[in-house]
Amino acid sequence: MEISESKTKGNSSSQFASQTGRTLLNLRGMLLRGDFQPGERLSELPLVARLGVSRTPIRLALDRLAHEGLLELSPTGGFVVRAFSIEDIWDALETRGVLEGAAARFAAERLEHDSELAQVREYRDHMDVMIQLNVDPDTFAEPDIDSFARYLDLNEAFHSEIVTLAKSSMLRRALDRVTSVPFASPSALLYARSKLPRAPQMFAISHEHHRAIVEAIEQRQGTRAEAMAREHARMSRRNVELALSDASILSQVPGASLIRVSAAG
């Protein structure tokens, strides 16, 4: 009986965690999709009805999104959707570059065995194949949704693995916070980049950065690894600048509705 009750409690806890996680993903997706506008107040009860879940997962998700910086506490209770200035975006991108540079340097300095690089090399090599198929401007075509989703996954995994190699939970927490800001994550602008002028060259340069970062870590060159990672992050600023200049591209970028574009001047 005790074992059965324990299993029941464990299953219940697992289901609750799963429901909370899905609620968080749904709400974050709605915010980045533009379902809520900057300054709009979010309250638990309307969201309960809209998402079909209980108040507790909603409350936990709202608290988490406020911690990430996508929401702000309202003086009258509840939360309001945060608006981001262009300066916020530039600062987030610069901070991300500093942190990712530190991660690459830590990875080079803390590498103990060459075998630790197996996973990041695998991600690099898979992206190599995908990039090589699209580097010719004369034959470049926008990737289909499945292949692009695969590239997004590989890119996110590559950046995450560099942080894993840094062996710093504090650094990972700091990066998680910064990259929750719209436009600041490593993959935030990849879809827009595919529609920008010189798209194949930009993808090729970006992936050359990936190769150089891995090579510097392999050779235990911490300073070089840090410099390459920071340079890689700086490409995101150029992508943002290009996206901001074209409303049709900007509208396809997650989180664009939260940006006060008028502050750009």
Neighbouring residues of 80: CB distance < 8 A, sequence distance ≥ 6? 39, 40, 41, 42, 71, 72, 73, 74
Summarised one tens digit per residue, pLDDT across range 140-183 is 455 555 666 688 889 889 999 999 999 999 999 999 888 878 77
Q: How far apart are CA 4 and CA 93, in angstroms?
A: 50
Supply 231's token pair: 């340079």
Best mean pLDDT range from 151-155, 206-210, 249-253: 206-210
3-state DSSP call for residue 73? strand
Question: Is pLDDT at 81 greater than 90 in this prediction?
Answer: yes
Summarised one tens digit per residue, pLDDT across range 116-131 is 999 999 999 998 888 7
Task: With CA atoms as reference, report the closest residue to 190 among 132, 226, 136, 143.
Answer: 143
Q: How far apart are CA 155 and CA 153, in angstroms?
A: 5
